Amino acid sequence: MGAVPASVLAATLAVAAGVPLLGWALVARPQDAAARSRANLTRGLDVAGAGARAARGRPGLLGRLVSLLTPAGTVVRLDRLAGGAGRPAAWPVQRLVAAKLVLAAVAAGLGLLVVARSPGPLPVLVAVGVTVVAYFVPELLLHSRGQERQQAIGLELADTLDQMTIAVEAGLGFEAAMARAGRNGRGPLAEELVRTLQDIGVGQPRREAYLALAERTGVEDLRRFIRAVVQADVYGVSIADVLRTQAAEMRLKRRQRAEEKAMQIPVKVIFPLMLCILPVLFIVLLGPAVMDIVDAFSG
């Protein structure tokens, strides 16, 4: 028997190292609600944070390995993307970091197997490209989910402001109207309103809680509304007038965006029409005539 090629051995080791990490990333359960609550309450407090970390215990071997192999900037970027995507409970940042390493290791191992079987520059480039894409797959998924969430918030904003306007004009305060809108809503905007009220309830200043809401969602219309609310609070402007004006503006913007998308449809249809429909139409219409011409000249 001949010696095993080094590339095949390296690919086998990469896949063998990726399988346990994959199992840990998929099977490891996220922190329970109590642990997450303690982490949120003790965030920024050195003594309490140290006590909470000591109570949770030291991370395991796989956790330390993942932390060593992942730059700090990647963790920060994943945390920001996870915040924009609504922080799915089943995929905390630690699991996303492990998933990045697992996907990259498995893709690299399979790529080495392909390169060992058929060496050449093209398989090497394909293997490297697939490995890089696999490494960034969790970030791409989070970015896509964040964009969908931002679009959903933009669509819900006008109706939510209408509900808050009616509640304020009926005699409720701004936060009470926000709580009612969060209770009645079912989308991501309602979740963000409830979270903002929770931040205010645990002692965060209102201005910081509102600005954190705008920063967390990343929706420009919501950021503009928050700025208007903050200015109204500073200068003593009636919040009912602000809500009424902002609701009318949001409805106008939503209608303008719908009209813009409708005007883009003919441009988007041109390329499928030219590539898929017109060639088939030409073949059906001109095919018999071309065949008759060929038969006439050949006879």
| DSSP string for 189-209 | HHHHHHHHHHHHHTT--HHHH
Say if residue 34 is in the same domain as residue 113.
Answer: yes
Q: How confident is the model at residue 28 (pLDDT cuts 50, 70, 90)?
A: very low
Instruction: Please state, as a whole number, how many other Cβ atoms lie within 10 Å of the Cβ of residue 161.
Output: 26
Return the sign of the alpha-carbon dihedral for residues 195, 199, 201, 205: negative
pTM higher than 0.75 for the full model?
Answer: no
Residue 294 has pLDDT above 50, yes or no: yes
Tell me whether residue 286 is in a domain.
no
Rounded CA separation 149/165 (Å): 24
Give the separation between CA 167 and CA 254, rounded to whole angstroms.
Answer: 22
Percent of the chain at pLDDT exceeding 90: 0
Instruction: Give first-to-last CA distance, the chain, whole Å.
Output: 66
Residue 281 lies in a domain: no
Burial of residue 100 (number of CB atoms within 10 Å: 0-12, 13-18, 19+): buried
Q: Is residue 135 part of a domain?
A: no
Lowest mean pLDDT among 30-39, 65-74, 97-106: 30-39
Pair 108, 201 in one domain: no
Residue-wise pLDDT for 231-266, tens only, equals 888 888 888 888 888 888 888 888 888 888 888 888
Structure tokens at 43: 């965030």
Residue 102 lies in a domain: yes
Structural domain includes residue 145:
no
Domain boundary among 100, 119, 138: 119
Q: Which of 75, 103, 119 is the last residue of a domain?
A: 119
Same domain, 113 and 161: no
Whether residues 36 and 106 share a domain: the answer is yes
- Pair (110, 12) in one structural domain: yes
* Per-residue model confidence (pLDDT) at position 299: 59
Domain shared by 96 and 34, yes or no:
yes
CA distance 182 to 192: 8
Query: Do 163 and 245 belong together in one domain?
Result: yes
Q: How confident is the model at residue 107 (pLDDT cuts 50, 70, 90)?
A: confident
Encode pLDDT of 36-91 as tens digits.
555 555 554 443 344 434 334 445 555 565 666 677 777 788 888 888 787 877 77
Domain for residue 298, yes or no?
no
> Quick check: 284 pLDDT over 60?
yes
CB proximity list for 55: less than 8 A, separation 6 or greater: 38
Whether 146 maps to a domain, the answer reads: no
Rounded to whole angstroms, the Cα distance separating 216 from 213 reads 5
Number of domains in the chain: 2
Domain extent, residue 23, equals 6-119
Chain centre distance of CA 247 = 27
Which CATH number belongs to the domain containing residue 239 in this structure? 1.20.81
Q: Is residue 66 part of a domain?
A: yes
